[in-house]
Structure 1
Amino acid sequence: MKFVTLVMRNWRSFHGDHRVEFSIDPRKPVTLILGPNGAGKTALLNAFTWALYGEFTDGFASPSQLVNVDAVEMDPSAETWVEITLVHEKDEFRIRRVTDAHRQSAGEYDLTVTKNGERAVEDDIYRILPKALKDLFFFPAETFSTANVLEGSRPGEGSSLNIGQAIRSLLAGDIYDRAIEDLRKAIESEALKPPKNYSDNTVEEARRRYAQAQEELNSAEERRDALPGLLADARDKASKAKKDAERYNPEEIKKWEREYEQRTGRVRQAEVATQRAYGLYLDLARKAHLHFAQSAVYSAISQLDLAEKAGLMPPRIHESVLDKTLKDCRCTLCGEPLSKEANERIKRLRAHVGDARIAVRGMETRSLLVRHATQKDMAVANLRNEIASLASDLGVAGPQQGADMRMLQAVLRTCLDMAERLLANATRELMEFTEAQDVERPPSGQSPVEIAMVRQKSVDVLVAESKGIEGEIEALSAKVGELLSDYTKKSSKSEGHKRKTAAIEILREVKKFFDTARKGLNQFGREDFEKAINATYSDLIAKPYQIHVGEDFGITVRFPGKDEEIPLSQSEKVLVLIAFLGAIARLAPLYEEIARNQQQLKRTGSVDTSRSHGFPVVLDSPTSPLDDEYEADVVNALPRLLPQVVVLVSAKSVAVWEGIAGSVGSANIMELTSRSSSNRTVRWNGKDHTYSAQDEGVAHARTRMTNIS
């Protein structure tokens, strides 16, 4: 897909008719638009978003005043319209959105879409450029300064762009969302509820408990689906607030960040100590029987030792020899007949000689008991050492050498109390710190530092909720399954109930399938996106960096095979952001074709992208956050990004842009005329062109679009 032309009439500062022709030459992919500050670069960017979506980028001022002021003064019913022509595959689309001075404040407009000269519908455009991609393909200058796609060490520094939603939009993943929502409604439909006159209290109570659990599950799932968008919005606000705070008092915000990290570190340490204490307490409980069993084990070993000393084990003479001697009244060993006294002595000896098999078992048992006692002594010793280590870390008195289970339990109870107290104190201190309002304020209004603190706290809360929401949903789902089984069992006497509960079971299984499919789509999309952003970044910068995309699409930059993050320069960070946008743009045509062929779960996860394919991006002042020394890095990289790139910039460093003149297929100037402007020219390809002009006779600043290529 490529943009061909953009035509405007009376759009914001553009009085009259204006036309931009975009380069569609893949050898010259850049369309450059130079404009002074105040000429309307952001307005031009929003001409795209308004024409395509009827929406605007964040921070666009006065969205209800679209018609040029001079045009309205000349004609109170003056119209403004924007028409975009684009080609996609073999089709040409025209999108024209029109409003006038009366309807603009209410957000009313007329929309016309044609495909190859014939009427089409808005959805034909949205299938190519889903609304979720607006903030990715049309990127304003303010976002280049505030958006941070790097995950960083703080939760607030993750992506402020909802990439998961964008990827699902490209893959037509909304079919899964709609299917899940329809199934959820079907499960709760009146058709699957018992008749209102049904009077079995036992069944009704089981159904009520199931319905309540299902409602809790639905709420949790809806919250999970909303969290990525809420988190992206919170991160965006936190990032902007941090920028404002740094401009106001950079030392104060840095001091706050350091103390915030120290306090959160203490919370983490206390959490680890508490988990260690609970784990050892559980281990101690499992080994508590040793305290009672060990004395019995040693007593049994002692008794068996005495039996060995008494000659009972092993026996000094086998009982069979004694039995034969008594039977024959003759010594079995020497053959001499027994006297009466000898016979009595042998009888007494026989009474003391146990069964040989029992004696052998006694010896085996003693060996087992000795081994058991030794192992358990070692286990208790290890447990004693671990408790002593925890006590030392917590600063409490540890167990004495050879302490028994009761002593270990007492020490561990003290450790647990101390760990819980430390955790409670650390958590309270962190909360008091984040909620504190003792920072210095400007003369009027809220302190930017305080606003940054509040924004960051909102991000922290949402991050914590995101980490736990899946576990909560799994537990609720299991609970719903158990209560549904109970409801099914208790209502089995009614055929009508049986059919309804069976239908609910089927619907739940189908919903589970779509839930799994949506998760798979996210995971496969993440894998494709990681490959694409690495390929895009390597095209832009010749450094051996590896970009890792996390489960929440947060980004870290590392050396291959290493886990440590790489500290990036400001230009490298902007290049990461541009690669971030380029990766989505390169995936867009491939994902559209996958969605069209309904192969979302067959081909995603192994998609390869290249710089020769991709949808265009429109970038407003991508180098605005950079110093001059870094600007050239970004400018030189842009022609390698995509087959079509539209860039809106000021001419403050036009010489840098002339360095890629061979890649610029269309160069344009937004000529600004106003009372306060200075007379300036811009030199491009050896020629001077009017850039801004002063005119005392102009009531309102106005801009004229001129092609200079």
Structure 2
Amino acid sequence: MKFMTLTMRNWRSFHGDHRVEFSVDPRKPVTLILGPNGAGKTALLNAFTWALYGEFTDGFAQPGQLVNVDAVEMDPSAETWVELTLVHEKDEFRVRRVTDARRQSAREYDLTVTKNGERAVEDDIYKILPKALKDLFFFPAETFSTANVLEGNRPGEGSSLNIGQAIRSLLAGDIYDRATEDLRKAIESEALKPPKNYSDNTVEDARRKYEQAQEELNSAESRRDDLPGLLADARDKASKAKKEAERYNPEEIRRWELEYGRLTGCVRQAEDATQRAHELYVTLARKAHLHFAQSAVHSAISQLDLAEKAGLMPPRIHESVLDKTLKECRCTLCGEPLSKEANDRIKTLRAHVADARVAVRGMETRSLLVRHVTQRDTEVAGLRKDVASLAADLGAAGPQQDADMRMLQAVLRTCVDVADRLLTKAMRELKDFTDAHNIERIPVGQSPVEIAMVRQKTVDMLIAEVKGIEADIEELSAKARESLADYTRKSSKSEGHKRKTAAIKILREVKDFFDAARKGLNRFGREDFEQAINVTYSDLIAKPYQIHVGEDFGITVRFPGREEEIPLSQSEKVLVLIAFLGAIARLAPLYEEIARNQQQLKRTGGVATSRSQGFPVVLDSPTSPLDDEYEADVVNALPKLLPQVVVIVSAKSVAVWEGIADSVGSANIMELTSRSSSNRKVRWNGKDHIYSAQDDGVAHARTRMTSIG
């Protein structure tokens, strides 16, 4: 999918008719739009979102005043419209949204959608660009400055974008959401209630217990579905509150962040140590047979060694020779007759010579036992090394070099106790720290620092709830199944009850299937997204970083094979954010094709992406948070992102953008004219172009869109 043109009439500061043609050349994927402050860069970004969705990006000021002020003064019924032309696969779509000065404040719009010149419907566009992707494909400068996709250790950071919802939208996963909700309503429908003329206290009691268990389960599932949105909103508020606090008292919030980061780091370290200790203790318990069998194995080897030394294995004389000598009373070797004393000696020798097969088996057994001892020594040495490493990390006394299993068990028991105490202490210190700022109601005039602390505490509580809610749902689901089974048994005498409980059971099983499908889409979508963002980031920056995407789609950056997070420079953070957007844009056409072929649960989880495919993104001032020294890194990376990228920026660093002129297929200027503007020109490809102009005769600032190549 590619944008072809954007046409506007009287849109905000753009008086009259204006047109932008986007580059569709994959060798020149960048459409560059230069504009001074106040020219309407954010308004231009919102021309896209308004045309497609009738909505605006966060922070868009005065959404009820869309018609150009000069146009309204000339004609009180003046209208504004925005038309976006795009090509998807072999089809051309036109989307035009219209309002006028009288209807704009009430947000009343007219929408026209055509497909290949024929009338189409709004859903045809939403199938290509779902509403859930608005904040991903149309990204404003304010979001670049305040949103942070890095999970990190710092409070307030984390994705404020609901990537799980976006992925489900691309995969048409809303069918599973709707199916689950419809099935939930069907289970609770009046049609499955017991007959009104049936009265049995035992059955009624069982039915009430089942309905209560089902209601608790429904409530927990609804809460689970709401949590991603609540967490995204809480993170967004925490991020904005943090920035406000930094402006108010940056030193105080910095100290709080450092202490919060230190305490949460201690909790994570203690959790890791506790998990290591308990896992190692389980491993040691599973290897206990090595200790208990040790003495028996050594005793058996010793006895077999003695048998060998005594000549019992292998036998010095084969038993067949001795048997023949005794039978003939003559030495088989020399032929001499046996005396009575010689015959008695041979009988004694025959009694002590083992059967040859038994002797061979004894030797084989000894070899197996010796091999067992060697393997046991290797395993014990490995356990000894692991226990010593854990003890050193915990500051506990380690085992001796020749420690046996009993001694290792004693040392490990100490390590488990130390780890548990450290975790309890770390969690208590973190709780004490956060509880010290646990303010139930924000009084008037409270400092932004305290507000930021409260916002972050809300984020922490929601994260904890997200981690535990699936376990709660499993428990409640088991309770509901058990109560339904009890209700079914007790009501089995009634045919009416029997049919209805059977129907409820079937509906629950179908609902469980759709729930599993939703979970699968999230899990496999997360795997695809992690792979896509790593590919995208490696395209943008040549550094050996690995991006990890958590269960809640939070992002951490690490070195391959290591767990600790990498501190990133500001430009690297912006590149992570751009890669974040590019990953979704690259997945979009692939996921759309998967959804069209109804292969969501077959192909997701192994989808490969590349820079040659992907939907376009529109970025408003992506380099605004950066210092000059970092700006070139981001500018040079953008042409590698997608087959089409629209970038709206100021010309303050136009020389940096000229560095990628070979990748710019369409360059445009938003010429600003106002009383307060200065007369400025911008040089592009060796030519000067008007950038802003001062005019005392202009009542209101106005902008004109001009193509410069």
TM-score range, shorter chain: 0.7 to 0.9
SS at match of 2:127: helix
Cα separation, 2, equivalents of 1:234 and 1:438:
16
Summarize deviations over 1:410-466 as a string: whole Å, max 9, x none: xxxxx9xx9999799747633442236999x9xx95422222112111101111111
Cα separation, 2, equivalents of 1:437 and 1:208:
36
SS at match of 2:547: strand
Cα separation, 1, equivalents of 2:428 and 2:599:
54
Going from structure 1 to structure 2, the CA distance change for 1:705 and 1:270 (only over 3 Å counts) comes to closer
Cα separation, 2, equivalents of 1:464 and 1:4:
45
Matched letter for residue 461 of structure 2: V
1:318 alignment partner in structure 2:
none
1:109 alignment partner in structure 2:
109
Cα separation, 1, equivalents of 2:26 and 2:95:
24
1:176 alignment partner in structure 2:
176
Summarize deviations over 1:357-389 as a string: whole Å, max 9, x none: xxxxxxxxxxxxxxxxxxxxxxxxxxxxxxxx9
SS at match of 1:567: coil
2:618 alignment partner in structure 1:
618
Residues 368-447 of structure 1: pairs in structure 2 closer than 5 A:
426=429, 429-435=432-438, 445-447=445-447
SS at match of 1:96: strand
Going from structure 1 to structure 2, the CA distance change for 1:436 and 1:119 (only over 3 Å counts) comes to closer
Q: Are 1:556 and 2:559 counterparts?
A: no
Cα separation, 2, equivalents of 1:558 and 1:46:
35
1:195 alignment partner in structure 2:
195
Cα separation, 2, equivalents of 1:420 and 1:648:
49
Summarize deviations over 1:379-415 as a string: whole Å, max 9, x none: xxxxxxxxxx9xx999xxxxxxxxxxxxxxxxxxxx9
2:8 alignment partner in structure 1:
8
Cα separation, 2, equivalents of 1:520 and 1:438:
40
SS at match of 1:217: helix
Cα separation, 1, equivalents of 2:606 and 2:538:
18
1:219 alignment partner in structure 2:
219
Residues 633-644 of structure 1: pairs in structure 2 closer than 5 A:
633-644=633-644
Residues 506-585 of structure 1: pairs in structure 2 closer than 5 A:
506-585=506-585
Contact 2:195 2:496 in 1 (8 A): no
Residue 545 of structure 1, CA deviation = 1.2
Residue 116 of structure 1, CA deviation = 0.3
Contact 1:271 1:423 in 2 (8 A): no
Residue 241 of structure 1, CA deviation = 1.7
Going from structure 1 to structure 2, the CA distance change for 1:560 and 1:693 (only over 3 Å counts) comes to same
Going from structure 1 to structure 2, the CA distance change for 1:215 and 1:16 (only over 3 Å counts) comes to same
Residue 663 of structure 1, CA deviation = 0.6
Cα separation, 1, equivalents of 2:659 and 2:263:
49
Cα separation, 1, equivalents of 2:701 and 2:236:
32
Matched letter for residue 229 of structure 1: G
Going from structure 1 to structure 2, the CA distance change for 1:124 and 1:215 (only over 3 Å counts) comes to same
2:704 alignment partner in structure 1:
704
1:311 alignment partner in structure 2:
none
Summarize deviations over 1:529-580 as a string: whole Å, max 9, x none: 1111111111111111111111111111111222221111111110010001
Cα separation, 2, equivalents of 1:432 and 1:661:
55
Summarize deviations over 1:79-104 as a string: whole Å, max 9, x none: 11100000000000000000111111
Going from structure 1 to structure 2, the CA distance change for 1:501 and 1:78 (only over 3 Å counts) comes to same
1:651 alignment partner in structure 2:
651
Matched letter for residue 501 of structure 1: T
1:683 alignment partner in structure 2:
683
Matched letter for residue 430 of structure 1: F
Contact 2:548 2:556 in 1 (8 A): yes
Contact 1:53 1:131 in 2 (8 A): yes
Contact 1:266 1:426 in 2 (8 A): no
Summarize deviations over 1:581-630 as a string: whole Å, max 9, x none: 00100010010000000011111111111111100000000000000000
Unaligned runs of 5+ in 2: 280-390, 397-417
Contact 1:155 1:463 in 2 (8 A): no
Residue 157 of structure 1, CA deviation = 2.1
Summarize deviations over 1:260-305 as a string: whole Å, max 9, x none: 34565788899999999x99xxxxxxxxxxxxxxxxxxxxxxxxxx
Contact 1:263 1:429 in 2 (8 A): no
Summarize deviations over 1:657-705 as a string: whole Å, max 9, x none: 0000111010000011111111111000111111111111111111110
1:484 alignment partner in structure 2:
484
Residue 522 of structure 1, CA deviation = 0.9
Matched letter for residue 669 of structure 2: I
Matched letter for residue 486 of structure 2: D
Cα separation, 2, equivalents of 1:681 and 1:254:
42
Matched letter for residue 90 of structure 1: K
Going from structure 1 to structure 2, the CA distance change for 1:270 and 1:34 (only over 3 Å counts) comes to closer
Contact 1:151 1:158 in 2 (8 A): yes
Going from structure 1 to structure 2, the CA distance change for 1:176 and 1:197 (only over 3 Å counts) comes to same
Unaligned runs of 5+ in 1: 280-388, 395-414
Contact 1:488 1:498 in 2 (8 A): yes
Q: Are 1:493 and 2:493 counterparts?
A: yes
1:360 alignment partner in structure 2:
none
Cα separation, 2, equivalents of 1:256 and 1:436:
16
Residues 245-394 of structure 1: pairs in structure 2 closer than 5 A:
245-261=245-261
Name the count of aligned residue pairs: 577
Contact 2:260 2:430 in 1 (8 A): no
Higher mean alpha-carbon deviation, 18-27 vs 240-249, is at 240-249
Matched letter for residue 628 of structure 2: D
2:66 alignment partner in structure 1:
66
Going from structure 1 to structure 2, the CA distance change for 1:197 and 1:275 (only over 3 Å counts) comes to farther
Matched letter for residue 127 of structure 1: K
Q: Are 1:240 and 2:240 counterparts?
A: yes
Contact 2:439 2:454 in 1 (8 A): no
Q: Are 1:47 and 2:47 counterparts?
A: yes
Contact 2:156 2:242 in 1 (8 A): no
SS at match of 2:82: strand
Matched letter for residue 437 of structure 2: T
2:186 alignment partner in structure 1:
186
Summarize deviations over 1:478-524 as a string: whole Å, max 9, x none: 00001000100110000010010001100111111111111111111
Going from structure 1 to structure 2, the CA distance change for 1:274 and 1:572 (only over 3 Å counts) comes to closer
Cα separation, 1, equivalents of 2:553 and 2:424:
36
Residue 258 of structure 1, CA deviation = 2.7
Contact 1:274 1:423 in 2 (8 A): no
Contact 1:7 1:19 in 2 (8 A): yes
Matched letter for residue 639 of structure 2: P
Residues 119-134 of structure 1: pairs in structure 2 closer than 5 A:
119-134=119-134
Contact 2:7 2:84 in 1 (8 A): yes
Residue 230 of structure 1, CA deviation = 1.0
SS at match of 1:157: coil
Residue 63 of structure 1, CA deviation = 0.8
Contact 2:153 2:261 in 1 (8 A): no
Cα separation, 2, equivalents of 1:210 and 1:166:
35
Matched letter for residue 597 of structure 1: N
Identity %: 85
Cα separation, 2, equivalents of 1:596 and 1:211:
38
Matched letter for residue 639 of structure 1: P
Contact 1:270 1:426 in 2 (8 A): no
